[in-house]
Structure 1
Amino acid sequence: MHYDVIVIGMGAFGAATLYQLAKRGVRVAGIDRYSPPHNLGSSHGDTRITRQAIGEGAAYVPLALNAHRIWRELEARSGESLFNACGMLMLSDSRQATRGHGTTDFAGQTAALAQRFGIAHSVLDAQQIRQRFPQFSGYGEHAVGYYEPGAGYVRPERAIAVQLALARDAGAALYPDTQMLRLETFEGGVRVHTAQGTLTAGRVISCAGMWNGKLLQDRYASYLKVSRQKLFWFELDQPALYAGEAPVYIILDADADSCYGFPPLPGENAIKIAAEDYEDSGDPDLLQRVISQAEADAMYDKYVAPRMAGVSRRLLKSSVCAYTVTPDFNFLIDEHPALPGVTVVSACSGHGFKHSAAVGEALAMRYCGEDGAADLSSFTLPS
């Protein structure tokens, strides 16, 4: 079977790219080794933070803004609730800059970009934080808060399912549970060899996430690092603290002590919280997917008990996902240097889902030669 475009991987970026190509009438197919949405990659866990002012750099802000527009468009088309703009509180210490995702002053750059792009926000002092958000108990008089009312969370599994369904309705062919084995270029296109047979296309877009390094080889095998991430849901002792104006949160401290999390979802009595771990890395097919009791205890003692009021030690749920990380924490969206016709899309580096809908749109607009596509030139593979 021959297609105009084959998308490898149907997670966050793959589903978005499939949907945007299919809605434009492109003959497109998607391949995934599992049946998305699933919990074996990087696009699960009930919620993903989305922000508008992106401390990782100005190149991401237009993508975040476009993604917010697309989430609302998808909600209108599907009737599903995908994006909750519950606000975001970023806490830090006013006496020191804190690094994050390759940025030397993550909170400061976030506020500066909010100012530059006209994004609604406020900066709170310690007293204002205590008054508005008493659930955050770990900061003293030097606390400073960046609050962004338009931020919140996206439901990743729902977003992927909606985009895949809409892509299929628009004519896309979906091949779940199909493992890709290798790519081979020929004059005029690319052969995609899978365990079930061979497909061809004029172009391939690889959105294989943590499997990109193994599939694409060349420089990618050493450039892309797969890091195991642990997600925890701790039961609330004081649910009232997390009712009403309860934002998503990012708590910045020394590099190894920062964490992020979410308010309870409707019908749940737990907060989701996680820290970013870049030390635990390895082969994506050998990822340890079970969180131990020792890991849960360490998370609670280090991150929850000193910082969050009204949260018990009782772990209701846990999950493991993976970051695919570049050395500078930037995305990777570029042409494969040794495989003509193959576009490599994203190592999300821990901050990707919020941009995925917009990246898919930009890729589809670029393929179709449309004007006004978001600029992706900041995300090329370093020479």
Structure 2
Amino acid sequence: MANSYDVIVLGLGAMGASASYQLAIRGASVLGLDRFHPPHEQGSTHGDTRITRLACGEGSQYTPFAERSHEIWKSLEEKTGLALLRQNGILIVAGAGKIAPSHGVPKFLEATVASAKAWAIDHEILEAREIARRFPAFDVSDGDRAYHDRLGGYLRPEACIGAQLEEARALGAELRMNEKVLSVRQEAGAVVVTTATGTYRAAQLIVAAGPWLPRFLAPALARQFGVTRQVLYWFRARSPAEHAAFSPERFPVFIWQPSGADGVFYGFPAVGPFEEGVKIATEGHDVADPETVDRTVSPREIEAMFGTFGRFFPGLSPDCVKAKVCLYTEVNAARFVLDRLPGQDRIIVASPCSGHGFKHSGGVGDALAQMAMGEKQVVLGAGRHVVDMTQFAFRPDDPPWKA
């Protein structure tokens, strides 16, 4: 039948691109749809870099996704010659006094250590003096402690998405960009997707629509998802010499719960020249609509960001060379949802975001492909980890999401 597929993937960002690629590897007939032309800057997967880490303070259940993702990124690098993954280390820093929770976890450092121990990930605990000695760009205080491992690092999200889409297309996937989906419905034996330009049918549908996801859900489920506005900042170093202290060889990616600060922040090494600055960010809580969100960053926001967190890096100047807005799609307790839509068994919903999704996206795409192809279990990676997917199921009785 014309316009009929094994699987349709709605949304071709981090999760949709990966699912399309993994389905194409399996020989499925795939249609990918996106209202924009990914990789793009309208959703959640842009901004040059994203943190990756195998020891997950949000819960040890996420490690198989990150581990499988690393396998996929390395395989793609071999196929394409692109630089996608840099494992220059991860530093999880916590102050000695009152600290804000990270992704709802008050003691994020301790939770990260527990995850590392559960998966036998080699790591160190560093005291303030040792942090300062190894990583002099950080201005730590007495009493600060850090988790450090060498498996964490950063990803290049736009390149990861682009590589997977190109590989999926080369394997036969049909990708239709700039095509807005108007409706989806399940009927006997199929799912029907109607867009602004056509109607398509498939045995299975994966909805990976990011911040647009709630629009495809009934109100009782949609209220469990919240969309928030996030801002990314790039501040220039005070001099080219000080910029060198932020190089990947000398400066790991980090997540920092500073003592006495009303928030957590994170950041990356300098991945470009002096003129391109150093990227840091915190987590915002302003509820947003992807259609109307303010994508400009005001001077007041820049001043507040540097005033609150720039002080932890004496080598940075307040000169913000770039700032971008992206979106989180969140669930209470920073959970993922990877499940069939209740009452509609041919529609799989993928919302593994909650502010820590990109690092897992390769593995999530593998899991989604297995679900769509009717596998009885989801098994990830060379370690053959059997994943308990009930941990990522819809919980229809959960209370509404709240910031």
TM-score range, shorter chain: over 0.9
Q: CA deviation at 1:95?
A: 5.1
Match of 1:62, SS state, is helix
Task: Quote the offset at 1:221 in angstroms.
Answer: 2.4
Match of 2:281 among 252, 274, 283: 274
Task: Tell me what 1:317 maps to.
Answer: 322
Other-structure match for 2:233: 232
Amino acid at match of 1:236: A
1:90 equivalent in structure 2: 92
> How many angstroms apart in 2 are the aligned matches of 1:6 and 1:205?
6
The separation in 2 between residues aligned to 1:104 and 1:317, in whole angstroms, is 31
Mapped to 1, the partners of 2:328 and 2:210 lie a distance apart of: 8
For residues 57-89 of structure 1, give each alpha carbon's deviation from its aligned partner in whole angstroms, at most 9, with x where no partner exists. 011011111111111011111111100101111
Q: Report the secondary structure of 2:122's partner residue.
A: coil
1:242-321 → structure 2 map (5 Å cutoff): 242-243=246-247, 244-253=249-258, 256-269=262-275, 270-278=277-285, 280-304=286-310, 306-321=311-326
Structure 1 residue runs of 5 or longer lacking an equivalent are: none
Q: Using the alignment, how far apart are the partners of 2:345 and 2:185 within structure 1?
A: 10
**Counterparts in 2 of 1:7 and 1:87: CA distance versus 1, 3 Å:** same
CA contact (8 A) 2:243 2:274 kept: no
What are the Cα deviations for residues 325-366 of structure 1, in whole angstroms up to 9, with x where unaligned?
A: 012210111111143311100140000000000010112123
Q: How does 1:169-188 map to 2 (within 5 A)?
A: 169-188=170-189
Of 116-125 and 368-377, more deviation after overlay is shown by 368-377
RMSD after superposition: 1.5
Greater shift, 242-251 or 312-321, is seen at 242-251
| Percent of residue pairs bearing the same amino acid type | 38
8 Å contact from structure 1 (residues 212, 220) kept in 2: no
- Partners of 2:212 and 2:182 lie apart in 1 by 11
TM-score normalised by length of structure 1: 0.96
- Which structure 2 residue ranges, 5 or more long, are not aligned? 381-386, 397-403
Q: Give a deviation string over 1:157-196, Cα, whole Å, max 9, x none.
A: 0000000000000000001101001111110011101111
CA 1:143–1:333 in 2, change beyond 3 Å: closer, same or farther? same
The farther-off stretch of 97-106 and 15-24 is: 97-106
The answer as to whether partners of 1:263 and 1:271 remain within 8 angstroms in 2 is yes
Aligned length: 380
Q: Which residue of structure 1 lines up, in the alignment, with residue 44 of structure 2?
A: 42
Aligned match of 2:399: none
2:344 corresponds to which residue? 339
Q: Secondary structure at the match of 1:124?
A: strand
TM-score scaled by length of structure 2: 0.91
2:20 and 2:30 in contact (8 A); partners too: yes
Contact 1:90 1:145 (8 Å CA) reproduced: yes
Q: Is the 8 A contact 2:224 2:332 kept in 1?
A: yes
